Chains A and B, each alone.
Chain A
């Protein structure tokens, strides 16, 4: 008679379960591009944050005896038309891009989320008017809207940062975020727990703050990362057009402006490195945003 049962195990039952991988390995396996994006961003954040200590030169320090020098041991990325060290300017330029990009994205997304949630929750005339206004903003191309705002508002320096520039970049983000927050809120407000909170007599502001807003944190984080790359691109474009960051501040967009294109024929490094920096950050934020979306909303990515 054949014994159909397997021989008794010598250890506990769970010892035969497949070995569970650590979370970070699973993360890398499931979202490799997102992790790469995150790593690149961490490196860039740290390098830019520590620019004061790790940049080999002052980004404003000129050396007219060494203009347009090719990459070398003294100047790893070469020098520009003023003899300024490009590596130092790229590192400091990262601060400008990331500060403006992140702050504009957070400001725009937060205002947009607040408007979207409030309009969906309150509804009625408030929602109708606000939605039409946001639709008008959406109809204007993002870059044109930022361009007009920067040109009309002028400069407003607060601690050396042009606050109006941050606002101009943030404003086009508002209607996009508001639309997403509104659609999420329309679903959430019909949930039983929201009805329960209402039945218990909680105020609207409390319901919004404690029961609705935390439930759109996922899409909010995803959109913030997406809008950061958009904001960095707008900042670079505005600086390139002479409407963004003012010279001689180190800015990736500004490094591509002026006579850079003509100089690039003989000294291509002056446009390659800031260009690569912009592309790298924008691409990294996009990859991270995609990964975060998949994590927060697995259903949406299931079909892909």
Chain B
């Protein structure tokens, strides 16, 4: 059995659907109704390509199509979205896509190969003033060619299978080439795509509304008449679900909140639980003292009792799994024995902390004190920071928490205005080339917040991306982990469980380990 199949089987086994109504009893989709759901934040702008926040995608995904998509009900299989079919030619280093005919934008214009080409050129080679947040995922694209009205061809620099996931990414919304030509920044202000729902209105801090797109190219879809997404988070979300004000929060709720809803609503609630592709990490600013000293970073890494922390915190929060930079028990993760051999993952925490104290003493930082920047938001974010501060306190290090609102936190992360900062990383799928962009040099990936420069780490990353032998690739990934944890620029600490509680009347939505998928609501419906 190939590792991928093991993962999928494991994922299916690990994903639990707790519901009074069996899935088979969902029956035929019904039309009509308004889906009301909670979203934690307002979007800073409306451009999918520039956004990096889950809350933005929850609002924008229903309005746009993508070239490929993750197949509903069959994660992580990929199928065409606006592409009807495609051909891969590894020899010629090309991917050729044939589009569905008669796809319309919401303004009535036709979606053609020109629009796909203009979109991916904007993503891979953004004009001045345009931000392409995930530009490193397009590094292998050399050019985009319009073959005819319904055919578009991508020429690659090197053969890289991870690019297929890039074509299916929900962040890569297809924009109108005509509008882009007149204003390359139009998507930051105007929501106009070819997705199943047409944008209606947005009231900041309150609600985003959308209505069914009658000319959506998938016959019979969408099923819902309207979407209403309300800005709320934390306890308010759970209260709103319990009171029937919203049907769900697709990001998920804490295990305790899910339990509370099950107790309160019984058959009225469905809960999807499974491993998540989201993990918490902490990044040190490697540009300045004291974290320009590898000994200090490694000491703080060694001081964290990940196994003990997960055993305790996992009972009351989503922090359930210990893992490195790749998803634990996944397709690309190493064995537990390998994990335990890495700095920071030892089960003998007292010995590790003794080594940490020695390293700090050697570095002249035995009484180290620093500020840890923490994003305010769901309580789990602060809980994670409290956990870290407590672990470091045990080796005599004082981490003062600076809890800031999301915009200030994002600004600190982007501008390297921090000493140490907690961070969250959610991946679309298990793909090391994409997932490890959080841990390579800043020159290669602006998602990497540590501002370090490590050619050795970058070289391993680049080699695994084009390695076609699965075994050899796994070996490279183990080497990457060893180098990363030894240098300790950014530390993966805990992986989360995803627990989505929803009104039992809500059907047709696909649960996956990624927060970012299945948000276009094209197949979602409400039973009477």
Residues of chain B within 8 A (CB-CB) of A262 are 235, 238, 254, 256-257, 259-260
Query: Which of the segments A59-67, A164-172, A289-297 contacts the partner chain?
Result: A59-67
Let me know if B78 is at the binding interface, CB within 8 A: no
For the complex, what is the distance from the CA of A242 to the CA of B382, rounded to whole Å?
A: 10
A246 adjacent to B401 (CB under 8 Å): yes
For the complex, what is the distance from the CA of A158 to the CA of B383, rounded to whole Å?
A: 24
Let me know if B368 is at the binding interface, CB within 8 A: no
Residues of chain A within 8 A (CB-CB) of B402 are 155, 246
Q: Of all chain A residues, which has the CB nearest B257?
A: A262
B383 adjacent to A242 (CB under 8 Å): no
Q: How far is the CB of B352 from chain A (nearest CB, A)?
A: 16
A81 adjacent to B380 (CB under 8 Å): no
A259 adjacent to B317 (CB under 8 Å): yes
B317 adjacent to A81 (CB under 8 Å): yes
Contact with A along B396-433 (1 / 0, CB 8 A): 00001111000000000000000000000000000000
Contact with B along A64-101 (1 / 0, CB 8 A): 11011000000000000111000000000000000000
Contact with B along A248-262 (1 / 0, CB 8 A): 100000000111011
Contact with A along B297-317 (1 / 0, CB 8 A): 000000001001101110111
Q: How far is the CB of B388 from chain A (nearest CB, A)?
A: 10
B316 adjacent to A81 (CB under 8 Å): yes
Residues of chain A within 8 A (CB-CB) of B386 are 82, 247-248
CB-contact partner of B393 in A60, A63, A82, under 8 A: A60
Residues of chain A within 8 A (CB-CB) of B389 are 248
Known contacts A82-B390, A246-B401, A263-B256, A258 near B379 by CB under 8 Å: yes
For the complex, what is the distance from the CA of A65 to the CA of B312, rounded to whole Å?
A: 6
Q: How far is the CB of B411 from chain A (nearest CB, A)?
A: 14
Q: How far is the CB of B448 from chain A (nearest CB, A)?
A: 27
Q: Of all chain A residues, which has the CB nearest B403?
A: A246
For the complex, what is the distance from the CA of A67 to the CA of B387, rounded to whole Å?
A: 13
Let me know if A265 is at the binding interface, CB within 8 A: yes
A259 adjacent to B316 (CB under 8 Å): yes
Q: How far is the CB of A113 from chain B (nearest CB, A)?
A: 35
For the complex, what is the distance from the CA of A68 to the CA of B315, rounded to whole Å?
A: 9
CB-contact partner of B390 in A248, A263, A265, under 8 A: A248
Known contacts A60-B393, A247-B403, A258 near B382 by CB under 8 Å: yes
Q: How far is the CB of B241 from chain A (nearest CB, A)?
A: 12
Let me know if B482 is at the binding interface, CB within 8 A: no
Residues of chain A within 8 A (CB-CB) of B142 are none
Let me know if B117 is at the binding interface, CB within 8 A: no
Let me know if B133 is at the binding interface, CB within 8 A: no
Residues of chain A within 8 A (CB-CB) of B263 are 265
Q: How far is the CB of A185 from chain B (nearest CB, A)?
A: 43
B379 adjacent to A263 (CB under 8 Å): no
Residues of chain A within 8 A (CB-CB) of B380 are 259
Let me know if B376 is at the binding interface, CB within 8 A: yes
Q: Of all chain A residues, which has the CB nearest B316?
A: A81
Which residues of chain B in 267-315 are interfacial with respect to chain A, using CB atoms and an 8 Å cutoff? Answer: 305, 308-309, 311-313, 315
For the complex, what is the distance from the CA of A65 to the CA of B382, rounded to whole Å?
A: 20
CB-contact partner of B387 in A82, A155, A265, under 8 A: A82
B393 adjacent to A64 (CB under 8 Å): no
Let me know if A16 is at the binding interface, CB within 8 A: no
Q: Of all chain B residues, which has the CB nearest A84?
A: B390
Residues of chain A within 8 A (CB-CB) of B385 are 247
CB-contact partner of A265 in B256, B315, B382, B401, under 8 A: B256
Q: How far is the CB of B438 from chain A (nearest CB, A)?
A: 25
Q: How far is the CB of A250 from chain B (nearest CB, A)?
A: 12
Q: How far is the CB of B25 from chain A (nearest CB, A)?
A: 29
B393 adjacent to A247 (CB under 8 Å): no
Q: How far is the CB of B418 from chain A (nearest CB, A)?
A: 15
Residues of chain B within 8 A (CB-CB) of A257 are 379
Q: How far is the CB of A294 from chain B (nearest CB, A)?
A: 41
For the complex, what is the distance from the CA of A83 to the CA of B386, rounded to whole Å?
A: 12
For the complex, what is the distance from the CA of A201 to the CA of B18, rounded to whole Å?
A: 86
Q: Of all chain B residues, which has the CB nearest A249?
A: B401
Q: Of all chain B residues, which has the CB nearest A154?
A: B404
For the complex, what is the distance from the CA of A150 to the CA of B131, rounded to whole Å?
A: 34
For the complex, what is the distance from the CA of A81 to the CA of B312, rounded to whole Å?
A: 8
Interface centre among A258, A261, A265, by most chain B C-beta atoms within 10 angstroms, is A258
Known contacts A258-B383, A262-B238, A83 near B259 by CB under 8 Å: no
Q: Of all chain A residues, which has the CB nearest B389?
A: A248
For the complex, what is the distance from the CA of A248 to the CA of B385, rounded to whole Å?
A: 9
Let me know if A199 is at the binding interface, CB within 8 A: no
B383 adjacent to A64 (CB under 8 Å): no
Let me know if A9 is at the binding interface, CB within 8 A: no
Residues of chain B within 8 A (CB-CB) of A23 are none
Known contacts A247-B385, A248-B389, A262-B254, A67 near B316 by CB under 8 Å: yes
Which residues of chain A in 197-248 are interfacial with respect to chain B, using CB atoms and an 8 Å cutoff? Answer: 242, 246-248
Interface centre among A246, A259, A265, by most chain B C-beta atoms within 10 angstroms, is A259
For the complex, what is the distance from the CA of A68 to the CA of B403, rounded to whole Å?
A: 25
Q: How far is the CB of B81 from chain A (nearest CB, A)?
A: 38
Residues of chain A within 8 A (CB-CB) of B401 are 246-248
Q: How far is the CB of B458 from chain A (nearest CB, A)?
A: 36
Residues of chain A within 8 A (CB-CB) of B315 are 67-68
Q: How far is the CB of A226 from chain B (nearest CB, A)?
A: 31
Residues of chain B within 8 A (CB-CB) of A155 are 402
A263 adjacent to B311 (CB under 8 Å): no
A64 adjacent to B308 (CB under 8 Å): yes
B383 adjacent to A60 (CB under 8 Å): no
Contact with A along B338-351 (1 / 0, CB 8 A): 00000000000000
Q: Could you give 26 example pairs across A and B, Cβ below 8 Å?
A: A62-B312, A62-B387, A64-B308, A65-B311, A67-B312, A67-B315, A81-B313, A81-B316, A81-B383, A82-B312, A82-B313, A82-B390, A246-B402, A247-B386, A248-B401, A257-B379, A258-B379, A259-B257, A259-B316, A259-B383, A262-B238, A262-B257, A263-B256, A265-B256, A265-B260, A266-B256
Besides A68-B315, A68-B316, 13 more A-B contacts (Cβ < 8 Å) are: A60-B390, A64-B309, A67-B316, A81-B313, A242-B376, A257-B379, A259-B254, A259-B257, A259-B379, A262-B235, A263-B256, A265-B263, A266-B256
Name B's A-contacting residues (CB within 8 A). 235, 238, 254, 256-257, 259-260, 263, 305, 308-309, 311-313, 315-317, 376, 379-380, 382-383, 385-387, 389-390, 393, 400-403
List 6 A-B pairs, minimum CB-CB distance, nearest first: A64-B312, A258-B379, A262-B256, A81-B316, A248-B386, A259-B379
